[in-house]
Amino acid sequence: MSTLAQGSVEGGNPLVNIGIFGAFVVVTLVIVFRASRNTKTASDYYAAGRSFSGPQNGTAIAGDYLSAASFLGIAGAIAVYGYDGFLYSIGFLVAWLVALLLVAELLRNTGKFTMGDVLAFRMRQRPVRAAAATSTLAVSFFYLLAQMAGAGGLVSLLLGVEGDVGQGVVIAVVGIVMIIYVLVGGMKGTTWVQIIKASLLIAGTAVMTVWVLGKYGLNLSELLGSASQAAGGGDALLNPGEQYGESGTTQLDFLSLGIALVLGTAGLPHVLMRFYTVPTSKEARRSVVWAIAWIGLFYLFTLVLGYGAAALVGTDTITNAPGGENAAAPLLALELGGPVLLGFIAAVAFATILAVVAGLTITASASFAHDVYANVIKKGKVDSKTTEVKVARITACVIGAVAIVGGILAKDQNVAFLVALAFAVAASANLPTILYSLFWKRFNTRGALWSIYGGLTTTLVLIVFSPAVSGSDSAMIPGADFAWFPLSNPGIVSIPLSFLLGIIGTMTSKEHLEGKHKEMEVRSLTGAGAEKATVH
């Protein structure tokens, strides 16, 4: 195996990498500027005029969902830990059934722009919208940090940019390009960026998958055999337990992670907001079907890529590379197709971060402008929708700035951990309230508030006092030890607790909203009175 130069992958050509990435940025910016011509109203800015088709939106959802953590993280986890890495993919995929069966269509029929629209539909508007915006901002913040931290790590690996200043500059460039996408293109521009990125990502991984399988006569069993041989002969890479099998605590931790993954997706605000970009609930359904197809296919590819990297690059080489596990997919690309394929994959990885960050920013800014500014501060009496969009644009700039600073500060954090945290918050703070709102007629304002704030607080408190933050070598603050909660993943406690708080809060409140629930149920099931596509 080749020895690796410090700082970047040897054999990779940073100029090629930067060139391909630059081409992606130029092409997408042109498309974003073209798409922006028709962005006038709030519906255009937040929901792309509800003019995308199911297949287009499904591809964009895949673009939003398949983040750098999915691509580099899972391929790397499979290459290093084998089977246990595969479990992430399964949780991330099965989770889409929750979105398909219980959430997507009903949400599309009931809301306008944000998660808060649905949660506050039959409740007292101001407190519930404020709560929905708080948890939206919290989830988006952790997810943003994860992506920006990933960008920092990728820089040294792929572009050969070394040193804190160099990495900071690259993170800032990513942030600024992202802000331009969001400001100029709104939801329409951002959606096109997602679609292009998803196509490139899936095409690139498809080529690599076929290439790897081709080397083993299209025989998966032979690939697995070669991978476990390269890892030292035993079957450790093929059997479960390599990463989480250590002790009873790690096993429980894994169970907790598994629950958060499967329940988190349908509570991710940036995924939910995508359902508003299609004209009808039927198109929302088609969106999820396309998303499931792309995402499932992609995770099957990463399985091959992960084992392929273990077999062809070698687990030791990957762990010792700059970027560690995250280097598995880029190193495999280099091994297969030399600097050009590496450059392509590196550019795709950057495009992935850029697109996901743009999607998160537009969601967070929409939630602030629509829920907090228009409905909480202005009590639903904004003079014109243009003001609301202006506020959303200013918020996008602020969030972009926060993301740049946060990304520079968080660049050494574990990307997969930050993403898992976002999923835990989404599953605890958002999903119970969404499901109760849609399906439980007795549910009321206090139930919603207790569930959202209770779920959010529990998750954050348990994280702060978990071994992920203090008390272990790999913790955020390795020197200190104030961990009393044994698990890094809080979902197994915080999710049931949040469901329970929703019930207790509801039952202890005298507020009855059954009349409004009838309206909400008719609307959500039939689409009567739902927002239509705007015609230009």
Partner 1 sequence: MNSTEPQPPEADTWARVHASEDFQRLRKRLRNFVFPMTALFLVWYLTYVLLADYAHDFMSTKVVGNINLGLILGLLQFVSTFVITGLYVRYANRKLDPIAENIRDEVEGGDKQ
- Give the nearer residue to partner 1 in terms of CB position, either 235 or 481: 235
Least CB distance to partner 1 at residue 341 (A): 26
Q: How many CB atoms lie within 10 A of CB 27?
A: 12
Q: Given the complex with partner 1, which of 216 and 450 has the nearer CB atom? A: 216
Smaller CB separation from partner 1, 339 or 527:
527
Q: Give least dist CB 100 to partner 1, A.
A: 6
Report the distance separating Cα 345 and Cα 92, nearest Å.
22
Q: How far is the CB of 263 from partner 1 (least distance, A)?
A: 9
CB of 409 to partner 1, least distance (A): 34
Residue type, 474: S
Helix 163-180 to helix 328-366 angle (10° resolution) is 50
Q: Which of 351, 495 has the CB closer to partner 1?
A: 495
* CB of residue 513 to partner 1, shortest distance in Å: 13
Least distance in Å: CB of 233 to partner 1?
Answer: 12
Q: Two tokens at 187?
A: 């939801």
Q: Smallest distance, Å, CB 16 to partner 1?
A: 35
Q: Judged by CB, which is closer to partner 1: 32, or 262?
A: 262
Residue closer to partner 1 by CB (options 30, 528) is: 528
Interacting residues with partner 1 (CB under 8 A): 43, 83-84, 86-87, 90-91, 93-94, 96-98, 100-102, 219-222, 224-225, 228, 235, 238-241, 244-245, 251, 254-255, 258-259, 262, 282, 285, 288-289, 292-293, 296, 299-300, 439, 515, 518-519, 521-523, 525-529, 531-532, 534
Half-sphere exposure (Cβ direction) of 403: Cα atoms closer than 13 Å: 39
Q: Shortest approach of partner 1 to residue 40 CB, angstroms? A: 13
**C-alpha torsion angle, residues 290, 292, 297, 303 (rounded to 10):** 160
What is the DSSP code (8-state) at residue 8? S
Question: Of 142 and 307, which CB lies nearer to partner 1 in the complex structure?
Answer: 307
Comparison of 18 and 435: residue with beta carbon closer to partner 1: 435
SS (HEC) of 443-470: CCHHHHHHHHHHHHHHHHHHHHCCCCCE
Q: What's the gap between Cα 359 and its chain centre?
A: 9
Classify the C-alpha dihedral 215-221-222-226 as positive or negative: positive
One-letter amino acid for residue 88 of the chain: Y
Cα separation, 325 vs 319, whole angstroms: 6
Nearest to 162 by CA among 8, 357, 59: 8
Q: For residues 140 and 524, which CB has a smaller minimum distance to partner 1 in the complex? A: 524
CB of 481 to partner 1, least distance (A): 27
Sign, CA dihedral 408-351-346-315, equals positive
- Supply the minimum distance, in Å, between the C-beta of residue 406 and partner 1: 32
Let me know: does 76 contact 328? Beta carbons within 8 Å.
Answer: yes
Is the CA virtual torsion 344, 318, 417, 265 positive or negative?
A: positive
Closest to partner 1 by CB, 43 vs 470, is 43
Give the torsion through C-alpha atoms of 324, 325, 326, 331, to 10 deg: 80
Question: Residue 189 or residue 527: which is nearer to partner 1 going by CB?
Answer: 527
Minimum CB–partner distance for residue 526 and partner 1 (Å): 4
* Maximum Cα–Cα distance across the chain: 70
CB atoms within 10 A of CB 263: 24
Length of the chain (residues)? 536
Report the distance separating Cα 354 and Cα 194, nearest Å: 9
